[in-house]
Every structure is written in C-alpha cells, then in structure tokens.
Chains A and B, each alone.
Chain A
Amino acid sequence: MSDKFTRIAIGTTRRRFLQGSAALGGAAMFSSMGRVGDALAQDANTTLVIAAPATPQGLDIEFDVSLGSIDSLGALYEYMLGYEKIADPNSPDAMREDTSVHADKPNGLALRGRLAEKWEVSPDGRKATFKLREGVVSNWGNTFTSKDVKWTWDRKFNLKGQGLFQTAVLGLKSPDQVKVEGDYAISFNLDQPNPILLKQQCNLANPIYDATKCSEVGGSDDPWAVNFLKNDSAGFGPYRLAQLVRGQQAVFEARDDYWDEKPFMKRVIMREVPQSASRFSLLQGGAVDIAQFLQPRELEALKTQPGVAVDAVNASYMIWLELNAKIAPFDNVDVRRAVNLAIPRDEIIRTIYYGYADEQKAPMPYIYPMANESFFNYAYDLAKAKEMLAKAGVTGPLSTTLSYNAGDPTQEPIALLIQTSLKQIGIELTLEKLPAGVFYENVTKRAKPMIFYLDSPWTPDPGYSTYLYFNSESYVNYSNYNNPEVDRTITEGLATLDDSVRMEKYAAVQKTLMDEAPWGFIAYPKYTLARKAGLKGYTYYSSNNLRFQDFSRG
C-alpha cells in the first residue's frame, strides 16, 4: 500500500470505527431519531471487532505463519477445494470441517468445490485434473484462470520457503508437473500416487494468488511479488485488506464482487491486545466481539457471564516435550518411557487447562482420521517409572534441563508440575525460561535435552502428520528421532491410496512411536473462542484459524 493510500484508509477506518462504537449504545438509546441512528446501528451490526494477541506480521504464507497472519489468510484468499461443514458434536453452536474418511464419497473425502468446480483423480492416483470456476475476479478485478494456479505453484518452487515442504509432501519435483490444460483446467502429475493430493488443495498454506496483479507489481526486480504480498494481498477471497498498522490493527472490508455468498460482516477490525487479561476485560465490557486465545481460567470465568459465550472444540493442537534422542539421558529409550510414565497429565488438564484439553495418547492429532490411541501405555505410574529408570541402568539421581517458552503462560506451570512429579522418581529438573524468540531458535537448533513444543499439522492425514514430526529427514523432527523402519512405512503410506492398507501402516507407525517415545506426550489443547453470545457461525478449521466470512449475528 502506498503512504497516501494508508493515510486515507486510516482516516476512513477511524471515523467508521467511532461511528460503529457509538452506534452500539447510541442507536439503541436514540432509535427514535430516525434514519441516521438506523444506519449507524446497521454499520455496527455488520462490523466484527476482534481483540487479537497480535496483528499480522506478514501476509505471505511462504514466510509467515504467525497467529494474526493465518487468521488473515482465510479471509483474503480462496482455495481450490474445501471440506464440507458439519455441526461440532461437543459445542452446539460451532461447526467444523468434515475431515473423516467417507468410503461412500469420491476419493473417500467430503470435499466441496471452491475455485475448482470439478475434479478427477486418475485410477492410478498419479494425476488429478481440476476444472476451474469461471467468472471469479480478484480483489484487484483480474479474472481467475489456470494461469493463477500455475503461478502459485511455480512460486513455491522458486522461493523455497515453506512451500517447498508442500511440494515435497506431494512428491512434486519440478514445476512442470503442474500443467495448464486450458484457460480453466489444470492438472497435477505425480511420479507416484499420493493420497493427500486433494487434501493439500484445502490446506491454508496453499492459497491461490492473482498472478496478473503480482506480475504487474513485482516486475523483473521481484518476479514473485515478495515485497508486495508481505504487506498487501492479491487473491480471490471474500475480503480485501483496507489497513494494516502492525502492532495496532488490521482492517478488512468485504468485497462486493466476491463470487460466493457475500459475508455478513462487511468490516472486520483486528485490534492488537497483547495481554490476555486485557482481551478478557474488553470482551467482558462488550467492547469487542471476539477475544482470542484467553487463558483457561479466564474462559472459565467468562462461562458464567451474561452476553458472552465460549466455544471449545476438539482441535489439532498438541503440546508435548521434545525428548532429544541425541542428548543424554534421552538417548536411552527407557528414560524416555520413564518420563512419559511420570507426566501427570490428569493434573495438568485439571489444574492448568481447566478441562480445556484432553490427554495426548497418540503421536498425531486425535481428531484426524486413523489416529490410534490404543497403543498408549503411559498411564501415570511412578512405581513403574522407577522400574523403567532401573532398567535404563540409572542408579543415582539424574539431572537434566527442561526449557520452556516465556511467551506461553501455560508452559511454566506445566513445567512446575512435571518437575515435582519427576523429582519423585529421582530426576532433578532445572527449569529454563526462554524468551519466545530464543525459544524457537533453540527448538529448531535441537540443542536442548528436553523442550516444550506446541504445534499442529494442518492437513488432516496420518501420513502428513507423522512425516512432519518423525521422518528423519523432516526439518520439524525436533526430537532427532531416527528409525529407518518408521521412515520407510511413513513414506509407503504416502504412496498408497487404499485407506485400509494405509490404516494398517499408520497403526504400525503409531505403535512404534508410542513404544519408543520420542516425545513426552502431554495434551491435546482445545481450540477455544470467547465471543459475544449473539455472534453466530463459528467454524473450526484444522489449521486453527478464524475465517471472518463464517460469522453473522442472530
């Protein structure tokens, strides 16, 4: 955005924000004043105000997957495919993606067309052809064609950011494997069958860009529009970016020329409020519609507040301890097993999460198809943990360090509970609190014996999840786990289309992972949303982000 544009946008937005805020109370009190009051009330009614921990740092998924950024992506961009929506079984007001296996549906998936109207996978599973939707325009007015899809995937190959993982997991080795088959047809041509080819088209990390606009603004200096897409958007989603002032607020405006159903919320204001206690107070006082990422005890307090609702749905989040298999004492599998037996999961979920989490009993999200919790053999048992330590040859007290993230307020109390528990089996933990930036650096360097990690794999698939965290070649394998048999089975499963065969393979993988315990399994935190009671339409996505177009008032 140019400076001039930014200035204009700020002025307009402030005025409208004030109008909207005033309308909340003013329109109710002075509704008899006629049409002006009605108009202001209408404006407030279609404005969604979110108190977020951070505004987007960048808007390019290749380089930024921070909280504010991923919430923006689903509003600014459109995807080739999406999952059907179903009611959430645990939260009556919430919807969620239907990611389960459906033997009765094409390709075993409940998919709906977005930018792709129709799709077909060849019988050998090596080619998928997409018939694209006509008449779709971007936020810059350019018409969507197969050229945009091709440019999007070429960009992943050329920038070598996170998109490289997306190409690798599909088995794409060259940009030529994504072929334009006409103005409104494109195909993906793989060397091996791949069961997640269609799932990847729904992944939040694969938005489709407006190639015309990106080529125009980037020119020859920046052919992949890196500078432009960091601060602005060029996509086919339901919103356009009206303003981004990092550290303060981001404003999104609904597009009148969006191809699908027009969003109810015409304007979305994402305000940065770093302290969760402040977000809590803002929602409690009615100043915002949504307060994101509140602490569990704050959610518990809000449950009894009139006019406020809390949704808590089972999610793809996992929190665990990386037990570094290359650093003593966790190079000994029995020590890893002993730690798992002494993690007080029940206490953690009750005391720290107030029930907004479940025990982690599988090495992948429990909401994903083929997740198998039957191999979990680490119920809290200190006597058994001591036996396991004895089996590991540990005779005296054992000392090690547990590192945790200062930016996540749940990690320190969890660390304290684990420290107290491990002390009882003779393991003395020194707790090391690391600032958020240093924490992630230490996770990726794999230099700590024991460090927390909270993450979620965005594609609901056992092959994607296990490849991401346990394949010895994966950059996210932060526990340095290495088992060639596991590597081989994961890779085989990623080239197998038959779901029953895949289930067998991934059951075997999960059994080995549970037995060899590369992680200290802790919990599956739920995705929680604290909102005004009148706000409807919340939908859970496996990438744990909001999509503003889902919300309305009822």
Chain B
Amino acid sequence: MFRKLGLLARLAALRPRFAAGYIIVTAIALLAIAAPWIAPYSPTEADSVSFLQPPSAAHLFGTDNVGMDIFSRAIYAPRIDLTIAILGTLLSALVGGTIGALVGFYSTGRGIRVWLSFAVMRAADVLQAFPVFVFAIALVASLGQSIQTVVLAIAFVNAPIYLRLMRSQVLSIRSMRYVEASQVNGLSDLRTIVRHVVPNAMAPVLAQLSVNVGWGILLTAALSFVGAGVRAPTPEWGSMIAMGFQNVVTGQWWPSMFPGAMLAITVFGFSLVGSSIEVLADPAKRRQLLAEARERSESRRARREAV
C-alpha cells in the first residue's frame, strides 16, 4: 500500500500537470457532492434586496442581478454540468464504440456486412461534417429543451469520434493471431469481439473519455449560454455567464467571471486527466514513465546512501 502511494507520489513529482488534473477534478467533484451542506444560500431563489452585491464576507462571489448568491450557484452547477457531460460521454462511447467495433470487424471481405460498414462510415462522415455546436443546437431545438435532450445532443455529436477510434483499433487487432485462434477454436464473431477484440482496443477510448467529458461540460455551458440548454434558474455555469456577461461593461464583473473561471478550470482539469490516461493506458509509455520514476527514486536513494 505504502509502496503504491510512494510510486504515485513519484509519478506526481515527475508529471505535476497530471497530478494537478486529478486534484482539480476531485475538488470539483467533492464540491458538487457537498454543495447542499456548504452552500450558504439557496441556489435557485431570487432575493431582490441584495441584487448585484460585489464579493464580500456575506456573499463570497457576490450576487447576480436578481440577488441569487453566485458562490452557492457556482458550487451547485457541477452537479448539472458534470452529470450531463459524463452521461452524454458514456452514452456516446457505448453507442459509438459498439458500432465502431462491429464496423471495424466487418470492414474487410465481401458481402452485405462490408456494404453496411461502408454506409455507416459515410454516415459518420456526414455527421462530422456539421459544426458540432450548430448541430447540437439543432438537435435541442428539434427535440425540446431539457436536460435529457442536452445529454442526447452530447452523445450524438461525440458518437462518431468513438466509432472511428474503435474501428481503427479493431482493424489492426482483428488480424492478430490470437483473434484468428479464437475463431479457429469455434468462437462466434460476437464472442470473439467481446472477449478478445474490444478489451484490447479500449486504451485510446478510455483516454478520449476524459477529454470528451471536458468538451461535454463546455458544450453544455455553450448551449445554456445561448438559451438552448438547461432552464433557468437551475444553477449551470453557461447560463450564469449568459445572465452576467452584459454587466461587465457597467463594472459588475463577478456574476460572469466566477462561473467562467470555474468552467475553465474544470475543463482544463479534465483535459489534464485525459493526457495522463493516454500515457498510463499505453503499455509502452506507461513502462517508460514507471522506469523513469524508479530511476529517479533509485538515484535519490543512492544520493542518500552516499551522504
């Protein structure tokens, strides 16, 4: 246990940006969980007596133009933003990954399956040709404004990414000897894909998940900013920025600045976590990193012994 913790500490010292990512994400998650206990005010009730109050001891981040406490709303917001982004990303990975695995497995050879694979890839091309944000707005506009719709929109715009990732991995794995061996042993295609192909193709997908959660948060905030996302007064960073940004010009910077800063830090945190997963999930890069950590640890021990 202590050895593992020591290794983690060495990894953190070696790549401090990875550590920063995990700290940010953990802190935001903890804030979201603890929000009902630490928020000093209701995040959804207006108080016209104290509107547009600057940051103070009573209101750490100040109040907005209807008197809602910015700090309370800002720490409640990740409950919505994270939930939407994580659900949307998982859904897109599930759908995109599954289709990608099937398409990759049946991309070569002849017959209807090949044609279907080709058709699916061209459909993905068409989907990806649209600007993501415009496409998401169109989806929300046609399906109606709700949290579920935003989740679906995120899933829909991200699914082609996982489809391509999984397909490219499966294309290289399906010709491996162990895959051929499993088929020779009589395993069905489905079993081969589930047992031998997908587990070995997951590394880049896992790395992409974290990056996409960050993008999902950004997309949720952007949709809410233009009024197509979460409904007021639900605390959400994008809608908070939208409500406050016009005040900046008259000197009230706090209604949009604090949620904006939290949004930026969170997306940055997820991006760093994504980078770390990319390294840790790749066996070669992981070995190199661990070797570097051990080497540094041994040289430190050697220096101590010499002293």
* Partner-B contacts on A (CB < 8 A): 275-277, 280-281, 295, 297-298, 300-301, 344, 347-348, 350-352, 406, 409, 412-413, 415-417, 419-420, 423, 430-433, 435
A416 near B66: Cβ-Cβ < 8 Å: yes
Shortest CB-to-CB span from B157 to chain A, Å, is 20
| B65 proximal to A (CB < 8 A) | yes
| B247 proximal to A (CB < 8 A) | yes
Nearest A-chain residue to B65, judged by Cβ: A413
A431 near B231: Cβ-Cβ < 8 Å: yes
Q: Which of A276, A351, A409 contacts B67 (CB 8 A)?
A: A351
Q: How far is the CA of A280 from the CA of B249 in the complex (A)?
A: 8
Q: Which of B46, B67, B141, B145 contacts A433 (CB 8 A)?
A: B145
B67 near A431: Cβ-Cβ < 8 Å: no
Nearest B-chain residue to A281, judged by Cβ: B249
A419 near B46: Cβ-Cβ < 8 Å: yes
| B233 proximal to A (CB < 8 A) | yes
* Partner-A contacts on B (CB < 8 A): 45-48, 51-52, 65-68, 141, 145, 227, 231-233, 243, 245-252
> What residues of A have a CB within 8 angstroms of the CB of B243 in the complex?
412-413
B interface, over-half SS: loop
Q: Once A and B bind, how many residue pairs between them come within 8 Å at the CB atom?
A: 67
Given the known A-B contacts A276-B246, A277-B249, A297-B247, are A432 and B48 also in contact in the complex, defined by CB atoms under 8 Å?
no
> What residues of A have a CB within 8 angstroms of the CB of B247 in the complex?
297
Shortest CB-to-CB span from B171 to chain A, Å, is 43
> What residues of A have a CB within 8 angstroms of the CB of B233 in the complex?
416, 419, 431
A interface, over-half SS: helix
Q: How far is the CA of A406 from the CA of B247 in the complex (A)?
A: 17
Q: How far is the CA of A133 from the CA of B184 in the complex (A)?
A: 102
Q: How far is the CA of A281 from the CA of B246 in the complex (A)?
A: 12
Q: How far is the CA of A430 from the CA of B46 in the complex (A)?
A: 15
> What residues of A have a CB within 8 angstroms of the CB of B232 in the complex?
412, 415-416, 431, 433
Q: How far is the CA of A348 from the CA of B66 in the complex (A)?
A: 9
Which 7 A-B pairs give the minimum distances between C-beta atoms?
A347-B48, A277-B249, A406-B227, A420-B46, A301-B250, A351-B48, A416-B66
Q: Which of B51, B65, B68, B246 contacts A277 (CB 8 A)?
A: B246
Known A297-B247, A412-B232, A412-B243; further 10 A-B contacts with Cβ < 8 A: A277-B245, A277-B249, A297-B52, A351-B48, A413-B65, A413-B66, A416-B232, A417-B46, A431-B231, A432-B231
B48 near A277: Cβ-Cβ < 8 Å: no
Shortest CB-to-CB span from B236 to chain A, Å, is 12
Nearest B-chain residue to A299, judged by Cβ: B250
Q: How far is the CA of A420 from the CA of B41 in the complex (A)?
A: 14
Given the known A-B contacts A412-B232, A419-B46, A435-B227, are A280 and B145 also in contact in the complex, defined by CB atoms under 8 Å?
no
> What residues of B have a CB within 8 angstroms of the CB of A417 in the complex?
46, 48, 66
Nearest B-chain residue to A298, judged by Cβ: B250
Shortest CB-to-CB span from A534 to chain B, Å, is 23
> What residues of A have a CB within 8 angstroms of the CB of B48 in the complex?
344, 347-348, 350-351, 417
Q: Which of A277, A344, A409 contacts B248 (CB 8 A)?
A: A277
Q: How far is the CA of A412 from the CA of B245 in the complex (A)?
A: 14
Q: How far is the CA of A521 from the CA of B246 in the complex (A)?
A: 27
